[in-house]
Amino acid sequence: MRKKIYAMSDSVGETAEMVAKATASQFGDEDLDIVRVSYVLSEKQIDEIIEDCVKNDNMICHTIVMPRLRDYIEKQAEKYNVLCIDILGPTLWAAERITSAEPSMRVGMVRKLNSDYYKKVEAMEFAVTYDDGKDPRGFLKADVVLLGISRTSKTPVSMYLAYNSIKVANLPLVPEVPLPDEILRIPPRKIVGLLIDTYKLNGIRVSRMQAMGVGAGSKYSDVDRITEELLYSREIYRYLHCHVLDVTDKSIEETAAHIMSIVEKNREIDG
């Protein structure tokens, strides 16, 4: 089996990928695959890569500068005996020693820094903080709030929008869990409800269960349960009078483009 080098970064990841490719070139085309993982902003993302490295004896090289994530990836790699190369670490340490100054540890400093870039980073951090309904207070601060049942692409769409400097919060809809009060305080024009075909979602959830090692017959991927959840989500969207978008045959980029047009109109309304 071909081995992988995960080139990870809390920014674009060009530097990590370039180093990984230079390394792989010394071993021929048959031995190593390079997988660039950009905008690593959560411990969950790191855990998923670590898990694959443990299972398949892969390795990581990274240019992560956020102290919290640098510490986390180092501890997890050591805990699970995963080969993990901190590309920036030795150079930062050396430069700090000769200058007697501390590095800024800002994400993406190798790229041009300007106000637009800072807005992008802020939006990315916002998306991570208010992902999956973790903190309902974020709904009131967001440019747009995405609603949808599990596996309707809420998180990847949120991250794509954040890369375009849009502050996004999202909330998973579960029939047994009441809506947070904050949702009712948001103008309907700033809420987008996501829908998907029942059987398309069934396939996605079955694949997800298989990847997690859960056998067939799970209620999570049951067609009747999915139908129930979708009916519930439609009721919620009608109740809120919000935008509704069917993502069944749409790519992440297409879905995000549609939502970006909604956000742009809202910004014009808000002045």
pLDDT digits (tens, 9 = 90+) for 119-174: 888 898 999 999 999 999 999 999 999 999 999 999 999 999 998 999 999 999 99
Same fold, 3-99 and 115-270: yes
Distance of CA 54 to the CA centre of its chain: 22
CATH 3.40.50.2300 fits 3-99, yes or no: yes
Given pLDDT bands bounded at 50, 70 and 90, which one contains residue 257? Answer: very high
d(CA 146, CA 11): 24
d(CA 219, CA 228): 11
Average pLDDT, the chain: 89
Residue 110 pLDDT exceeds 60 = no
Most trustworthy range by pLDDT among 9-18, 202-211, 238-247: 238-247
What percentage of the chain reaches a pLDDT higher than 70? Answer: 92
Taking only the tens place, the pLDDT of each residue in 15-49 is 888 888 888 888 765 678 999 998 888 899 999 99
The answer for 8, left when phi > 0, alpha when psi is -120 to 50, beta otherwise, is beta
Q: Which residues of 20-32 are buried (b: 16+ CB within 10 A; e: fewer)?
A: beebbeeeeeeeb
Of residues 24, 25, 49, the one with CA closest to residue 37: 49
Mean pLDDT confidence for 68-90: 90
Residue found under tokens 């670590």 = 50
Residue 111 pLDDT exceeds 80 = no
d(CA 147, CA 212): 24
Residue 212 pLDDT exceeds 90 = no
Distance of CA 184 to the CA centre of its chain: 26
Taking only the tens place, the pLDDT of each residue in 219-256 is 899 999 999 999 999 999 999 999 999 999 999 999 99
Half-sphere exposure for 40 (CA within 13 Å, toward CB): 30
pTM score of the predicted model: 0.61
H or E element: which one contains 33? Answer: strand 32-37
**How many other β-carbons are positioned within 10 Å of the β-carbon of residue 33?**
13
Tokens of 109: 């400093």
d(CA 69, CA 189): 35
pLDDT at 112: 45
Cα angle, residue 213 at apex, residues 212 and 218 outer, rounded to 5°? 90
Longest dimension (CA), the chain: 65
pLDDT at 113: 46
Cα angle, residue 242 at apex, residues 238 and 247 outer, rounded to 5°? 95
pLDDT at 162: 93
pLDDT at 103: 63
Residue found under tokens 């700033």 = 190
Domains of the chain by residue range: 3-99, 115-270
How do the residues of the chain divide into helix, strand and coil, expressed in percent and rounded to 5?
Answer: 55, 15, 30
Q: Domain 115-270, what architecture?
A: 3-Layer(aba) Sandwich (3.40)
